[in-house]
């Protein structure tokens, strides 16, 4: 029996399977999902803010607690900002709802995102066939 896994909603570069693989993480499952009640910004990193009419597209992954610690445990040191877990309810394409963890920074400095970082997110958005209007929104964060 392996370590327990939890569903986690990714909305930035971590929804890209190649980015996760570089971190040594291969999720047991990874599929497109949406999260209502939030908006995304990429300044300079992806982050979410509460928005009553907002909707964020991303991917839900089934990963271990140890993998979450490796991704977010020292985010304050690695990224300069701490991403902390929040419980959310995501909607899958098959129509089901799934409780998941989602990591959000309470305060994220303002600054431009690099085009390479935006590319990672946009490439994933295209792979998951997110709506073109959402991809255009992601593209708007380019330098």
Identify the CATH number of the domain in which residue 128 sits: 3.10.490.10
Q: What is the mean pLDDT of residues 66-70?
A: 92
**Strand positions, DSSP E, 15-127:** 30-42, 46-64, 83-92, 97-105
Predicted local confidence at residue 78, as pLDDT: 64
**What's the predicted TM-score (pTM) here?**
0.93
Q: Which run of H or of E encompasses 8? A: strand 5-10
Total domains, the chain: 1
Is pLDDT above 60 for 100?
yes
**Residue 31, domain member (yes or no):** yes
**Residue 143, domain member (yes or no):** no
Domain span at residue 52? Answer: 5-138
Q: How far apart, in whole angstroms, are the C-alpha atoms of residue 67 and residue 69?
A: 5
Place of tokens 């693989």: 21
């Amino acid at each position: 029996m392996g370590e327990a896994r939890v569903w986690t909603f990714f909305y930035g570069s971590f929804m890209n399977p190649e980015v996760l693989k570089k971190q040594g993480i291969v999720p047991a499952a990874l599929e497109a999902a949406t999260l209502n009640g939030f908006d995304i910004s990429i300044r300079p990193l992806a982050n979410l803010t509460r928005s009553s009419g907002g909707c964020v597209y991303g991917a839900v992954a089934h990963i271990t607690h140890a993998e979450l610690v490796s991704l977010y445990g020292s985010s304050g040191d690695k990224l300069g900002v701490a991403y902390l877990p929040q419980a959310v309810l995501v909607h899958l394409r098959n129509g089901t709802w799934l409780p998941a963890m989602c990591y959000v920074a309470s305060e994220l400095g303002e600054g431009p995102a690099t085009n390479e970082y935006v590319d990672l997110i946009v490439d994933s958005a295209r792979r998951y066939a997110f709506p073109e209007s959402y991809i255009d929104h992601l593209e708007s964060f380019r330098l």
